[in-house]
């Protein structure tokens, strides 16, 4: 039996290679078709199977009507002698052929389409979102993005399910019913046609309202997820400022909005159900009543009355299911439309058409007229020119907002510069692949963010193919090995197998910093960026780490941002940024001799930190 399931489940590979699209369609049907294309062959088979199943059901009612007529033509012995083999054939069909056809239909839908369609959408959507720039993620809630990635695939799968399970079957069934009644007596089809027109009007009224209502409800659910995850992610701040009630009220606003949008959806369904009950009453009275009238006139047999009754009662039972299927279909499309607001956004930061891998021979960096204001016209960098020789160690100093972090983000190409360019070994980074660029740059930031995985996984993130010995050696150089051996998580995993919690929350700031440093040491990239790399460390550990850092810097081109000036005093050169431009540059001694901005920073620092309000 497992081979039977394996066959259908393997008809479509959701992870098959595909051509990535930087600008996905923004309209609903083209968007869905992009994901549905690998299923086109299976969709056709499922459509044919659904039509056949519906045709068999209509024929079965017709056949049972004929059985009723046959049973009224003579004694049991006469009926058996005349129609025994036909009755046996009908029984075989019901016991063997009908289940096989039904099995094919449900296997195509339940095993070939449903598990793979949602998986394909979730896989490709996640792949698309991962390619977005850092700036793109800074513009939205991580919780809302994740919610859309999670809820769009099942909604799209539900829409497909309703198309092949309900809508195809219903269309074929109603068509068959019209043919059957028309063949029995054309007048029997008249009330069914009138009912169809009224039913179509009710469907149109429902779907016109359910799509927007579902999209609003989906947006409200995403808002709840975003606000709740935002609170959970920043729980330390919530507790620190004693804002439990404030966060609860903030979430309640979104939760209540969800309740209101869901209630609006349910009002539509209530009106639909009442209207449907009225229409079905007309259907039963119209078709069955007319069939009885024809029988009383001698224009219809008992079998026709029985078939018309069975057909009408089946349609009566189906109408609620069909309407619900239609509503579910359009509600699912509303959820998909809401998810498209994230999934279908174009990739703004892409590799150039002629992009090649970065070839790094020496590690020289040149900033040529670099300008970037994040689209605001102020802040960031303005026409910055800077050359960093291969292997040179440069410290960046400046007050908050001077442009230090902007320079680093542009070097890593988290953003495309609004003006100017950055060259590494003479290669414009706008024309090399992003992955090759970042593989050649190691960075330790002041906020060491770790994955909710084991310590081993986090360190090996720097170079996954590294050996266990190389990983441990990197941890030792980062003064992390000893505390790692003492770690144990709530599941009992110890040492390098212990999980660190979301963003590394189970470790102290200094421990996170050292694991992050070990990761960069293991990466061993030729260009090293340090952004307050020792800011979370106590003085004793910092002194040990400084020695390690000097060793790590050996032979690398280094850019180090620091407010604690003592950490960069021994750099080959110090560059002072102010208002997005270079105000001063030189060695520590040269800058002190100039008695300029750097000298005032040095004079006003307390414990080695820049007096950011100094230098009036």
The pLDDT tens digits for 490-516 are: 889 999 999 988 777 788 877 888 898
Listed range (106-110, 139-143, 157-161) with the worst mean pLDDT: 139-143
Look at 36 and 375; give whichever has higher pLDDT: 36
Collapsed DSSP state (helix, strand, coil) of residue 449: coil
Q: How far apart are CA 141 and CA 228, in angstroms?
A: 10
Quickly list DSSP for 555-587: TSEEEEE-SBGGGTTTSSEEEEEETTEEEEEE-
Q: What is the mean pLDDT of residues 70-98?
A: 81
Per-residue pLDDT at 607: 47
Is residue 528 pLDDT above 90, yes or no? Answer: yes
Q: What is the mean pLDDT of residues 463-467?
A: 94
DSSP state of 377: T
Strand order in the sheet with 427-428: 381-388, 365-372, 419-424, 427-428
CB distance 129 to 24 below 8 Å:
no
DSSP state of 374: T
Structure tokens at 15: 């992870």
Structure tokens at 298: 């001698």
DSSP state of 167: I
From the CB of residue 607, how many other CB atoms can be counted at a distance below 10 Å? 7
Q: What is the mean pLDDT of residues 117-121?
A: 93
User: Which is nearest to 369 in space by CA: 323, 410, 399, 328?
Assistant: 410
Q: How far apart are CA 403 and CA 599, in angstroms?
A: 19
**Please, what CATH class does the domain formed by 8-343 belong to?**
mainly alpha
Per-residue pLDDT at 327: 73
Sorting pLDDT into bands at 50, 70 and 90, what band is 610? low
Look at 346 and 609; give whichever has higher pLDDT: 346
DSSP state of 75: -
From the CB of residue 280, how many other CB atoms can be counted at a distance below 10 Å? 20
H or E element that contains 370: strand 365-372
The pTM of this model reads 0.75
CA 475 to chain centre: 34
H or E element that contains 529: strand 527-531
Q: What is the mean pLDDT of residues 255-273?
A: 87
What stretches of 406-487 adopt beta strand conformation (E)?
419-424, 427-428, 441-444
Cβ-proximal residues to 359 (8 Å cutoff; 6+ apart), any chain: 425, 427
Half-sphere exposure of 59 toward its Cβ, with a 13 Å CA cutoff? 10
Per-residue pLDDT tens for 12-69? 999 999 988 888 888 888 888 889 999 999 999 998 998 888 888 877 777 777 777 7
Cβ-proximal residues to 298 (8 Å cutoff; 6+ apart), any chain: none
Cβ-proximal residues to 49 (8 Å cutoff; 6+ apart), any chain: 101, 104, 105, 108
Per-residue pLDDT tens for 389-413? 999 999 999 888 888 889 999 999 9
Is residue 356 pLDDT above 90, yes or no? Answer: yes
Per-residue pLDDT at 13: 93
Q: What is the mean pLDDT of residues 530-544?
A: 67
Listed range (32-46, 63-77, 420-434, 436-450) with the worst mean pLDDT: 63-77
**Taking each helix axis from N to C terminus, what angle separates 302-343 and 40-71, rounded to the nearest 10 degrees?**
160
H or E element that contains 385: strand 381-388
The mean predicted confidence, pLDDT, of the chain is: 85
Is residue 612 pLDDT above 70, yes or no? Answer: no
The partner residues of 387 in beta bridges, in order of sequence, read 366
What stretches of 438-514 adopt beta strand conformation (E)?
441-444
In angstroms and rounded to an integer, the radius of gyration of the C-alpha atoms of the chain is: 35
Q: Which of 83-87, 105-109, 169-173, 282-286 has the highest mean pLDDT?
A: 105-109
Per-residue pLDDT tens for 192-246? 888 888 888 887 888 788 778 877 887 888 888 888 888 887 887 888 788 888 8
Question: What are the structural domain ranges in the chain?
Answer: 8-343
Longest pairwise C-alpha distance within the chain? 123
Collapsed DSSP state (helix, strand, coil) of residue 369: strand
What stretches of 407-507 adopt beta strand conformation (E)?
419-424, 427-428, 441-444
CB distance 441 to 531 below 8 Å:
no
């Amino acid at each position: 039996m497992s081979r039977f399931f394996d066959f259908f489940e393997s008809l479509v590979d959701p992870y098959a290679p595909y051509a990535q699209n930087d600008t996905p369609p923004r309209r609903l049907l083209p968007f869905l078709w992009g994901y549905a294309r690998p299923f086109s062959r299976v969709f056709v088979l499922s459509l044919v199977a659904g039509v056949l199943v519906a045709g068999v059901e209509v024929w079965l009612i017709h056949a049972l009507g004929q059985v009723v007529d046959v049973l009224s033509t003579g004694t049991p012995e006469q009926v058996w002698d005349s129609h025994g083999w036909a009755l046996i054939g009908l029984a075989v069909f019901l016991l063997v052929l009908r289940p096989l056809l039904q099995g094919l239909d449900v296997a195509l839908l339940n095993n070939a389409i449903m598990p793979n369609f949602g998986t394909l959408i979730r896989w490709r959507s996640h792949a698309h979102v991962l390619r977005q720039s850092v700036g793109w993620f800074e513009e939205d809630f991580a919780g809302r993005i994740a919610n859309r990635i999670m809820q769009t695939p099942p909604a799209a799968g539900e829409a497909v399910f309703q198309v092949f399970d309900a809508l195809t079957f219903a269309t074929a069934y109603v068509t068959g019913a019209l043919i059957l009644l028309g063949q029995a007596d054309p007048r029997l089809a008249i009330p069914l046609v009138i009912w169809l027109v009224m039913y179509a009007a009710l469907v149109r009224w429902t779907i016109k309202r359910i799509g927007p209502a579902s999209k609003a409800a989906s947006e409200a659910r995403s808002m709840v997820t975003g606000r709740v995850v935002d609170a959970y992610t920043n729980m330390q701040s919530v507790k620190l400022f004693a804002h439990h009630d404030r966060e609860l009220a903030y979430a309640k606003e979104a939760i209540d909005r969800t309740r209101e949008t869901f209630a609006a959806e349910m009002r539509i369904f209530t009106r639909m159900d009442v209207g449907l009950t009225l229409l079905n009453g007309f259907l039963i009275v119209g078709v069955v009543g007319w069939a009885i009238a024809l029988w009383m006139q001698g224009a219809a047999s008992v079998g026709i009355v029985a078939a018309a009754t069975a057909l009408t009662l089946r349609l009566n039972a189906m109408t609620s299911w069909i309407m619900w299927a239609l509503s579910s279909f359009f509600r699912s499309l509303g959820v998909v439309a809401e998810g498209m607001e994230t999934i279908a956004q174009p990739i703004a930061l892409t590799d150039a058409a002629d992009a090649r891998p970065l070839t790094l021979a020496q590690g020289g960096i040149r900033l040529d007229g670099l300008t970037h204001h994040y689209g605001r016209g102020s802040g960031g960098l303005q026409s910055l020119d800077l050359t960093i020789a291969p292997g040179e160690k440069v410290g960046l100093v400046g007050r908050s907002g001077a442009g230090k972090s902007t320079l680093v983000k542009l070097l890593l190409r988290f953003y495309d510069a609004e003006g100017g360019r950055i060259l590494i070994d003479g290669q414009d980074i706008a024309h090399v692949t992003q992955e090759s660029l970042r593989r050649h740059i190691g960075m330790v930031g002041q906020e060491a963010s770790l994955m909710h995985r084991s310590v081993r996984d986090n360190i090996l993130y720097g170079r996954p193919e590294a050996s266990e010995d190389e990983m441990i050696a990197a941890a030792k150089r980062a003064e992390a090995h000893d505390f790692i051996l003492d770690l144990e998580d709530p599941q009992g995993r110890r040492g390098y197998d212990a999980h660190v919690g979301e963003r590394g929350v189970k470790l102290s700031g200094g421990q996170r910093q050292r694991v992050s440093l070990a990761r960069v040491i293991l990466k061993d990239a030729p260009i090293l960026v340090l952004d307050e790399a020792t800011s979370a460390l106590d003085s004793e550990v910092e002194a040990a780490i400084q020695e390690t850092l000097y060793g790590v810097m050996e032979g690398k081109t280094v850019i180090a941002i620091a407010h604690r000036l003592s950490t960069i005093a021994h750099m080959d050169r110090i560059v002072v940024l102010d208002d997005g431009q270079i105000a001063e540059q030189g060695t520590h001694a040269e800058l002190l001799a100039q008695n300029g901005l750097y000298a005032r920073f040095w004079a006003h620092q307390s414990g080695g930190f820049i007096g950011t309000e100094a230098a009036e």
